[in-house]
Amino acid sequence: MKSPADWERVRELFHHALALPAEDRAGFLHREADLDEATRREIESLLAAHGDADRFLSDSPAARSVSDEDLLAGIGSLQPGTRIGAFEILGLLGAGGMGEVHRARDTRLDREVAIKVLARDLADDPGGRDRFEREARAISRLTHPHICTLYDVGSAEIDGRSAPFLVMELLDGETLADRLRRGSLPLGQAIETAIEILDALGAAHALGIIHRDLKPANIMLTKSGVKLLDFGLARLTPARVAGQNTGGSAADVLTAPGIVFGTMPYMAPEQLRGADADVRTDLFAFGAVFYEMLTGRRAFSAGSQPALIAAILEQDPEPVTAEQPRATPGLNGLVRACLAKDPGARWQHAGDVVLALRALAEGRPPSSPQPASDSSPSLLRASRARRPWPLHAVWATVAIVAALSAWMLPRGSSQPVAPANPQPVIVFMDSPLEGRVYDPRTLAAGGTNADDLTDALRYLPIVTHKENTSPMWHREEEVRQQNPDLIISHLSCLYDQRVANEPAVRTEFFNMAQNRLTAFFGYVASVNPRTKFLVYSRGRFGTQEETWTRDVVARFPQMNGRLFTMTVPGGDRATFRDPATMQQMHARVVEILGLR
Amino acid sequence: MVVDASEVTRLLRAWTDGHAAAGDALMDAVYGELRKMARGYLRRERDGHSLPPTALVHEAYLKLVDQQHVRWQNRAHFFAIAARVMRRILVDHARGHASAKRGGGGTTFTLLDSDARLDPPGVDILALDVALEKLAGIDPRQSRLVELRFFGGLTVDEAAAVLDIAPITVKRDWALARTWLYREIRGPRR
């Protein structure tokens, strides 16, 4: 039997070799003098397989979606011929997030209708029946050429539950979702469709009815134009927790029971945060749908639920002009204004968007969105282009791979030293929620700690990076590449406001956060031997500071003499605006960097 | 099996604290529940556009875990265990499919009736399962990573958080593990 390969060496050298041009790899492995034959062969064999393995496992079954047809195959709780009240079931038409839709005959009026049976048991929910009927009555007041008419509501015993059902206009056509599977719409048709959707939304909004769940699957394309389905239905089912609860956040959505996951790509940031929906929530969803009509691509998409939430909260989609060559910058601006993260910076009325769209279609300059009158200028800033969330730093160059490998293999001498900066570079780290993630509170307060710190240090001959990052986001590599002379961070910069309200969780989180901060610093310190660290904290963490510093240096001896601390009064970001604290920070930085 | 949130929460905490036996009991509970939920989804929730099994995992978390009594780490552990459960469900599904082909009376659970849907193109789940076991003998962390990424659908950053390693390490491990598994299943290049 041949001797087994040394796996540690395989790991280490595989990546090293991979970073080299293919023709240099064999030579590289042969130059590794202490490499035994079995290990070398193993690495060569893996390198040979690497090219073919490129797409292998890249398609996770967990990330794949399941289509209507698969889910509908052989399922349907009502068989043709079943009677529900005056309605005779003729066949299953399809299924939406909230239940099944059947074609049925109204035996009294002898006309065909669509019956939607909601996936919900009214018997489980005292008072639910009244509420259901009250809401349904409101929706039935909606009569509009582009809204599917609701004729009747009721409930029936189906599969042992008391299932509410809605009787609606039977439509002939395909959903926009089906249409979009074949790609984007021609520009003219997209605009025409958009105007019809907006007309319908405007009419509903005038009656105080919010759709709450506008998406391509709820938009039917018929011979007589667009028909919006399921108006306000989100309210009638327990499935849409996000639009209903009051104090929730994205975290709640993630784990909320019964959430309709397929809908999330069209949900507005405020819905993800748990705020109630209003007119502007529908306009955001409209923007996402319009974007998709124009480009054939989702405005927001991601491989996982948390990543999707992050995308909706933080990212701006690519301009529509990138995908639809006939789209003008004006059209792009119009869509962007629909998709503004802050409702106050969005279009406020469906009618305004229609006017702007018509103006664009006729080649006139469109008006810009009218923000809500109570919006402050700082809120308006939010609608400007924001940096997309860098999920991970891109670090493709061979030099960096080599530098990193050198750090990971404890071989000392090969470690490169980053060149000195012409002017000292300072990186500020800030909390994830209040810094990087768009948050009205931060803007209302006038900015983040990093903004204030930049202010405090503005007369120094330094370069500052307001990274508004936090170790929590695993952005070591990015920060490292900025080659900082000094990193300034709050001791509790990992604070997560969502958990900060619960004392038990808070302590736990804080401990974990500090460990993470230590590891983050340790990494940067190992790779950038010049970097120093200044950690400031509130007065009440003052006693912890010393212990923490000792622990950090014990774990990462290379930080000895490079870690500085500072206690600031209060610790709130506002304190950096008071002249005394600003001066204190100024003096500390001058001292640490030896500027003068 | 009746699943009680406080019991699951207790198991989750015990397991995070290092009681290995709790992990098995926890996995049984999560498995049973996920299976049930998968079926329930097919009966009721047919939104029609996407039903990623990871969605089930998120929902299972809420359903099974008492959020008031868990720590941040517990949550990461839950998602990690759920990835393992997805692996089991998919492997069972593949086995059921294989035995049906042989004409055996398989009673194994299948997630969906249409078989093709869950078999990712070009991946033989059963062969992958065997290869992963073998990889675990050489490098447990890489095997685990594949489980998280491939069966759990976790992103690089999420996997990094669960494994408590840097994303850069995740990427390196992922590249090597994928190559190793590919070679193991397809055989060395000729």
Of A158-162, A334-338, A366-370, B17-21, the least confident: A366-370
Instruction: Classify A469 as helix, strand or coil.
Output: strand
The CATH superfamily holding the domain A417-593 is SGNH hydrolase (3.40.50.1110)
A304 touches chain B (CB under 8 A): yes
Q: Among B8, B17, B46, B85, which would you mutate to test the A interface (most chain A Cβ atoms within 10 Å of its Cβ)?
A: B46
* Residue ending a domain, choose from B83, B109, B135: B109
Of A502-516, A569-583, B56-70, B112-126, the least confident: B112-126
Confidence of residue A494 (pLDDT cuts 50, 70, 90): very low
For A:98-117, CB contacts with B below 8 A are 99-100
For residues B102 and B159, membership in a common domain is answered with: no
pLDDT digits (tens, 9 = 90+) for B21-44: 777 777 777 777 776 665 554 443
For residues B96 and B24, membership in a common domain is answered with: yes
The enclosing domain of B168 has a CATH number of 1.10.10
C-alpha span between A369 and A384 (Å, rounded): 13
For B:46-65, CB contacts with A below 8 A are 46-55, 58-59, 61-63
Please, which residues bridge with residue A111 across strands? A106
For residues B154 and B183, membership in a common domain is answered with: yes
For residues B137 and B69, membership in a common domain is answered with: no
| Beta strands A225-228; A219-222: pairing state | antiparallel
Q: What pLDDT sits at residue A395?
A: 27
Q: Which residue has the higher pLDDT, A184 or A361?
A: A184
Q: What pLDDT sits at residue A386?
A: 32
Q: What pLDDT sits at residue A281?
A: 92
Q: Which residue has the higher pLDDT, A97 or A345?
A: A345
Q: How many domains does chain B have?
A: 2
Quote the ipTM score. Answer: 0.72
Distance from the A59 Cα atom to the nearest Cα atom in chain B, whole angstroms: 7
As a dihedral over the C-alpha atoms of residue A79, residue A82, residue A85, residue A88, rounded to 10 degrees, the angle is: 90
pLDDT digits (tens, 9 = 90+) for A408-446: 333 333 334 556 777 888 887 764 333 333 344 444 444
- CB-CB contact of A182 with A175 (8 Å): no
Please, which residues bridge with residue A465 across strands? A427
Handedness of CA A163, A169, A174, A176 (dihedral sign): negative
Chain A partners of B85 at a C-beta cutoff of 8 Å?
none
Q: In what order do the strands lie in the sheet with A161-169?
A: A83-84, A87-96, A99-106, A111-118, A161-169, A150-158
Q: Average pLDDT, whole number, for chain A? A: 71
Residue from the list B151, B171, B189 with its beta carbon closest to the beta carbon of A49:
B189
Confidence of residue A182 (pLDDT cuts 50, 70, 90): confident
Kindly state whether residue B178 falls inside one of the protein's structural domains. Answer: yes
Q: What pLDDT sits at residue B103?
A: 44
Q: Among A213, A229, A252, A304, which would you mutate to test the B interface (most chain B Cβ atoms within 10 Å of its Cβ)?
A: A304
Kindly state whether residue B114 falls inside one of the protein's structural domains. Answer: no
For residues B98 and B173, membership in a common domain is answered with: no
How many residue pairs from chains A and B have C-beta atoms closer than 8 A?
201
**Angle CA A66–A240–A62, to nearest 5:** 25
Instruction: Classify B158 as helix, strand or coil.
Output: helix
Q: What pLDDT sits at residue A146?
A: 92
- CB-CB contact of A431 with A495 (8 Å): yes
- CB-CB contact of A472 with A592 (8 Å): no
Of A10-19, A97-106, A343-352, A581-590, the least confident: A97-106
For residues B133 and B176, membership in a common domain is answered with: yes
Q: What pLDDT sits at residue B139?
A: 93
Give the DSSP letter string of A400-419.
HHHHHHHHHTT-STTPPPPP
Q: How many CB atoms lie within 10 A of CB A141?
A: 11
Q: What pLDDT sits at residue B115?
A: 33
C-alpha span between B131 and B142 (Å, rounded): 12
Q: Could you tell me the residue ranges of all domains in chain A?
A: 1-47, 73-169, 174-383, 417-593
A263 touches chain B (CB under 8 A): yes
Confidence of residue A313 (pLDDT cuts 50, 70, 90): confident
Q: What pLDDT sits at residue A448?
A: 59
Structure tokens at A258: 């019964």
Structure tokens at A149: 């008419």
Q: What pLDDT sits at residue A404?
A: 33
Kindly state whether residue B50 falls inside one of the protein's structural domains. Answer: yes
Q: Which residue has the higher pLDDT, A70 or A170?
A: A170
The CATH superfamily holding the domain A174-383 is Transferase(Phosphotransferase) domain 1 (1.10.510.10)
Please give the residue of chain A at the shortest CA–CA distance from B118.
A61
Q: What is the mean pLDDT of residues A347-351?
A: 88
Quick check: B172 and A66 CB within 8 A?
Answer: no
Quick check: A62 and B151 CB within 8 A?
Answer: yes
Render the burial of A25-64: b for 16+ CB within 10 Å, e for the rest.
Answer: beeebeebeebeeebbebbbbbbbbbeebeebbeebbbbb
For residues B2 and B96, membership in a common domain is answered with: yes
The DSSP call for residue A446 is T
A385 touches chain B (CB under 8 A): no
pTM score, whole prediction? 0.41
Q: What is the mean pLDDT of residues A507-524?
A: 66
Kindly state whether residue B161 falls inside one of the protein's structural domains. Answer: yes
Confidence of residue A220 (pLDDT cuts 50, 70, 90): very high
Q: Which residue has the higher pLDDT, B71 or A535?
A: A535
Would the pLDDT of A69 be above 70? Answer: no
Active site residue A572: no
Most confident of A117-121, A508-512, B175-179: B175-179
A62 touches chain B (CB under 8 A): yes
* Residue ending a domain, choose from B109, B140, B160: B109
- CB-CB contact of A392 with B160 (8 Å): no
Q: What pLDDT sits at residue A159?
A: 64
Would the pLDDT of B75 be above 70? Answer: no
Q: Which CATH number fits domain A73-169: 3.30.60.50, 3.30.200.20, 3.40.50.620, 3.50.50.60?
A: 3.30.200.20
Q: How many CB atoms lie within 10 A of CB A113?
A: 20
Domain A73-169 and domain A174-383, same fold? Reply is no
C-alpha span between B20 and B15 (Å, rounded): 6
The DSSP call for residue B81 is H
Q: How many CB atoms lie within 10 A of CB A516?
A: 17
pLDDT digits (tens, 9 = 90+) for B141-172: 999 999 888 877 677 777 887 788 888 888 88
Would the pLDDT of A288 be above 90? Answer: yes
Residue (of A220, A306, A225, A263) closest to A98 by Cα position: A263
B67 touches chain A (CB under 8 A): yes
Distance from the B22 Cα atom to the nearest Cα atom in chain A, whole angstroms: 22
Would the pLDDT of A585 be above 50? Answer: yes
- CB-CB contact of B148 with B83 (8 Å): yes
For residues B151 and B171, membership in a common domain is answered with: yes
Confidence of residue B125 (pLDDT cuts 50, 70, 90): confident
E strands within A283-399? none
Distance from the B112 Cα atom to the nearest Cα atom in chain A, whole angstroms: 8
Judge residue A471's burial from the number of C-beta atoms within 10 Å of its C-beta, 0-12 exposed, 13-18 middle, 19 or more buried.
buried
Would the pLDDT of A67 be above 60? Answer: no
- CB-CB contact of A268 with A277 (8 Å): yes
Q: Percent of chain A at pLDDT above 70?
A: 63
For residues B88 and B126, membership in a common domain is answered with: no
Q: What pLDDT sits at residue B28?
A: 76
pLDDT digits (tens, 9 = 90+) for A448-489: 566 667 777 777 777 777 655 555 455 666 777 778 899 888
Q: Average pLDDT, whole number, for chain B? A: 69
Would the pLDDT of A119 be above 70? Answer: no
CA distances from A400 to A580, B37, B106, B119 (A): 42, 46, 53, 38
Residue appearing with tokens 């869950």: B118
For residues B19 and B101, membership in a common domain is answered with: yes
Confidence of residue B179 (pLDDT cuts 50, 70, 90): very high
Structure tokens at A172: 């002939």
Q: Which residue has the higher pLDDT, A251 or A121?
A: A121
Kindly state whether residue B137 falls inside one of the protein's structural domains. Answer: yes
Confidence of residue A133 (pLDDT cuts 50, 70, 90): confident
Distance from the B153 Cα atom to the nearest Cα atom in chain A, whole angstroms: 5
Q: Percent of chain A at pLDDT above 90?
A: 11
C-alpha span between A521 and A348 (Å, rounded): 45
Q: What pLDDT sits at residue B136?
A: 92
For B:1-40, CB contacts with A below 8 A are none
Q: What pLDDT sits at residue B162?
A: 78
Would the pLDDT of B176 be above 90? Answer: yes
For residues B91 and B141, membership in a common domain is answered with: no
For residue B179, the enclosing domain spans 120-190
CA distances from B101 to A70, A170, B97 (A): 20, 42, 6
Would the pLDDT of A74 be above 50? Answer: no
Q: How many CB atoms lie within 10 A of CB B68?
A: 9
* Residue ending a domain, choose from B64, B87, B109: B109
For residues B98 and B126, membership in a common domain is answered with: no
Q: Which residue has the higher pLDDT, B118 or B50?
A: B118
Please give the residue of chain B at the shortest CA–CA distance from A68.
B48
